Amino acid sequence: MTQWERFLDTFFNVGVLTRYAPDILAGVWVTVQLSLLIVVVGIGLGTLLAMLRAYRIRLLSLSIVVFADVFRAIPPLVLILLAFFGLPNAGLFLSSFVVLFLVLTLTLAAFAEEIIWAGITSVDRGQWEAARSTGIGFTGTLVWVVMPQALRVAIPPMTNRAIAITKMTALGTVIGVPDILNQATTAQSFSGNASPLMLAAIAYVLLFLPLVILARWLESRFSWRKA
Amino acid sequence: MSNPISSLDVRSLRKSFGTFEALKGIDLTVSHSELVFVLGPSGSGKSTMLRCCNRLEEPDSGDILLEGDPVTGRSVNLNAIRQRIGMVFQSFNLYPHLSALGNVTLALRRVRGMSRSDADAHGMDALAQVGLADKAGNYPAELSGGQQQRVAIARALALEPKVMLFDEPTSALDPELVGDVLEVMRDMRKAGMTMLVVSHEMKFARDAADRVIFMDQGQVVEQGPPEKIFGAPEHERTRAFLSRVSET
């Protein structure tokens, strides 16, 4: 066996690939579902928190800041392990899917809150004054005037952050979520061959490369022209 | 100028920022359809006074009345009273994410609860008043400064306010664009709009104002018809200000 044949046999073993492709595909489906859920709920929650913070109610704002800082500071893996292996001892049993969903959603929400808050504060005070001077209330001004501008500023960093967080669904492997990586490592141990891992890598590229390109496009598209 | 109830009444208005007393008891009355011009050096409190009139700045004490109705006080419905007071800002403050028409109709739709078609018809009227009906679909970034300011005026006019406040409406404009905005203000005056204007456009004050008020250090120093203020000012501070301004 030549070096090249050995390489192919290790990473692109056709027998192993065809044998385990369906499992990896099942993992792709789990990863896609999880990612969509995390992105929708995480960004939604982060947006809501940033908007609540705009009311500058002291205790509420403080709670939001503490939440955002804590969840941005702790590595998600630590929280995943804590929740999955710790909570049952406290009588709370969550499935591995739910644990992964909760931890990554809250982590994304924490980052999203900070990104959108930065967007809100970047909107000129004159925008608030103009809207309020026409009799639009605080909430109306926030919703109709400030948020559209804040979200636009937030789109590029938000896309990057959403990609970074959804890639972390691979962390679910350590608690047995049947995602892409988990299926691949399982297949790798059964077959004693690294091809399933290569297939997983390819699946991740196919899944995330379009998003990375989208992020790059958004970044140039939404660089805000000041009026 | 002999209306029984004046349009805008400001009584003993006081406002401090920290230890700095910006307004030291301002009394001011604007009659219906009157164009009152406020002059004064920077830091004289004229913008603060104007911003108190729709409570973008909260006064420390004093009363403000709009056609006899209180503007100040805790029980006032601020959003309702603000719809009767139009405001135009130095920096235009158009909403960059909305078209000219969108800027003009936002409050009509979200506060007045007008349908889109009603608001659009109303908004087009307002844009026509400032001569920009053909720019309805343009975004602020696509308009010149003068056009932006005229859209901002239309935004205020669309709510059919009883009084219009202008906070240095031409200060951010290139000189060649000032004329269009002043022209719109002249038209508004002819249409009978009540206007309180803070501005450095001396020439405009001279030919368009009914009355000129000179403010300095948070007080009204003197007021009168423009020919008196510009021709024969009584106070030394007014004379000093006018000679400084005319030199430049």
DSSP A25-79: HHHHHHHHHHHHHHHHHHHHHHHHHHHHHHT--HHHHHHHHHHHHHHHHS-HHHH
DSSP state of A225: P
For residue B36, the surrounding DSSP H or E stretch is strand B35-39
* Beta strands across the sheet bearing B211-216: B85-88, B163-167, B194-198, B35-39, B211-216, B219-224
Q: Do B83 and A131 touch (CB under 8 A)?
A: no
Whether B113 and chain A come into contact, CB under 8 Å, resolves to no
Q: What are the Cα distances from residue A22, in Å, to A19, A35, B220?
A: 7, 20, 84
In the prediction, which pLDDT does B4 show?
Answer: 58
CA B4, distance to chain mean position in Å, is: 23
Q: How far is B57 from chain A (nearest CA, A)?
A: 10
Are the beta carbons of A38 and A169 closer than 8 angstroms? yes
Which residues lie across from B164 on neighbouring strands?
B86, B195
Are the beta carbons of A119 and A154 closer than 8 angstroms? yes
For residue B62, the surrounding DSSP H or E stretch is strand B61-66
Whether B91 and chain A come into contact, CB under 8 Å, resolves to yes
* Beta strands across the sheet bearing B69-70: B20-30, B8-17, B61-66, B69-70
Q: Do A127 and B148 touch (CB under 8 A)?
A: no
Question: Residues 144 to 183 of B: which have CB under 8 A from any A CB?
Answer: 148, 152, 155-156, 159
Whether B96 and chain A come into contact, CB under 8 Å, resolves to yes
For the record, the structure tokens of A94 come out as: 């969550």
Residue in B closest to A146 by C-alpha: B95
Q: Report the alpha-carbon distance of residue A136 to residue B167 in Å, rounded.
A: 20
Q: How far is A145 from chain B (nearest CA, A)?
A: 7
Which residues lie across from B214 on neighbouring strands?
B39, B222
pLDDT means per 10 residues, chain A with 227 residues, are 90 92 94 96 98 97 98 96 94 95 98 98 97 97 97 91 93 94 94 94 93 84 57
Q: How far is B146 from chain A (nearest CA, A)?
A: 13
Partners of residue A129 in chain B, C-beta under 8 Å: 56, 87, 89, 93
Q: Where are the alpha helices (DSSP H) in chain B?
A: 46-52, 78-82, 100-110, 116-129, 145-157, 175-190, 202-208, 226-231, 236-247
In the prediction, which pLDDT does B147 show?
Answer: 97
Tell me which residue of B237, B241, B205, B209 sits closest to B221, measured CA to CA.
Answer: B237
CA B151, distance to chain mean position in Å, is: 14
Residue in B closest to A147 by C-alpha: B97
In the prediction, which pLDDT does A216 show?
Answer: 84
Are the beta carbons of B15 and B48 closer than 8 angstroms? yes
Place of tokens 């219009």: B164
The residues, ordered by sequence, that sit 6+ positions from A111 with a Cβ below 8 Å of its Cβ are A46, A68, A72, A161, A165
Q: Report the alpha-carbon distance of residue B188 to residue B162 in Å, rounded.
A: 12
Q: Do B97 and A152 touch (CB under 8 A)?
A: yes
Mean model confidence pLDDT for chain A = 93
Give the ipTM of the model, two decimals please: 0.94
Are the beta carbons of B50 and B198 closer than 8 angstroms? yes
The residues, ordered by sequence, that sit 6+ positions from B5 with a Cβ below 8 Å of its Cβ are B67, B68
Are the beta carbons of A134 and B159 closer than 8 angstroms? yes
Q: Report the alpha-carbon distance of residue B224 to residue B248 in Å, rounded.
A: 24
pLDDT means per 10 residues, chain B with 248 residues, are 74 95 95 95 94 96 95 93 97 97 97 96 97 97 96 97 96 92 95 95 92 96 95 93 79
Whether A144 and chain B come into contact, CB under 8 Å, resolves to yes
